[in-house]
Amino acid sequence: MPSWSEVQQEIHHLAQQGDTNPIRTVRCKYIEALSKKTGRTTIVYYSGWLSAPAFLPSHVINDDDKSGFMQTAHKVAHKSGLDLVLHTPGGSVTAAESIVDYLLKSFNGDIRVIVPQIAMSAGTMIACSSRQILMGRQSNLGPIDPQVNGLPAYDVLSEFDRAVKDSAADPGAAQMWQTIIGKYHPTFLSSCEHAIALSKEIVQRWLEEIMFEGDADARAKAAHIVDSLSSRDGNREHGRHIHAERCKAIGLEVAALEDDQVLQDLVLTVHHACTQTLAQQNAAKLIENNLGACYMR
């Protein structure tokens, strides 16, 4: 299957042949080929944050995305199951929950998530709602510790605890911490606590009900994964990249793309076509299915 540069050359060749939208032609061709390979409905969900000159609110998972999924989940083969190709920095926990609820109902809980490169934060949460996650050597998930107003909730709470301890040990430090903590708006700490609890609760439920459905140890397995993905001490940073081997080690059902070379080539070619679309058309978001129904913002 074509590499990134070969996909670019194919797009250029079609343009020279008079194709008025060659990048869409190439993208649809390979999304359809991926669906035929798996025998399942395929929907790609792509954010353009990596190629954008500036990070935008529309790059993240948000409630507007539901419209794209409603459009692309319509008139497809629901009984064949869904392969969701996911590339996102994350976003709203509640938007992710709403999108997953819609997709699970639409496809009777039969969802696999394919991660060609990165699915972070709320994207990792979506991956945990699937029966299986397909990843390659280059693929990464991330911690599920949420952000509130753009700040990692765990860091906010940790900083506040440190301020309390420092101020108790050294009254002179209280004035310094007052300058920092005073910037938090009322109820901000509670919002951080609630966001952490909600993200853990949602992922625990999805893992128990979907990935480990029927498993006698579902609750314990799910709890271990949630603890691992939400551990601030273990992950250190909200943007930590967690590779496939680590995802397997903590108990997630992960299949290696390298086990099926044809499948891996198709997934990566779809990835190249989608990322080139976003870069060349300066788009923030792309949601498209194997029938060619497309939502782009």
End-to-end Cα, the chain, rounded Å = 28
d(CA 107, CA 40): 11
Q: Which residues of the chain have pLDDT under 70?
A: 1, 154, 233-236, 238
Domains and CATH numbers, the chain: 4-142+241-296 (3.90.226), 146-217 (no CATH)
Q: Which residue has the tokens 């979907």?
A: 210
pLDDT at 236: 64
Q: Report pLDDT for 233.
A: 64
CB burial of 15-28 (b: ≥16 within 10 Å; e: otherwise) equals eeeeeeebbbbbbb
Residue 190 exposure: Cα atoms within 13 Å on the Cβ side: 3
| DSSP-assigned beta bridge partners for residue 247 | none
β-bridge mates for residue 255, sequence order: 134
The rounded distance, in Å, linking the Cα atoms of 217 and 202 is 18
pLDDT at 77: 95
Contacts of residue 233, Cβ cutoff 8 Å, sequence gap at least 6 = none
pLDDT score of 27: 97
Side-chain-side CA neighbours of 234 within 13 Å: the count stands at 15
> So what's the pLDDT on residue 235?
61
Of the candidates 97, 13, 74, the one whose C-alpha atom is nearest the C-alpha of residue 287 is 74
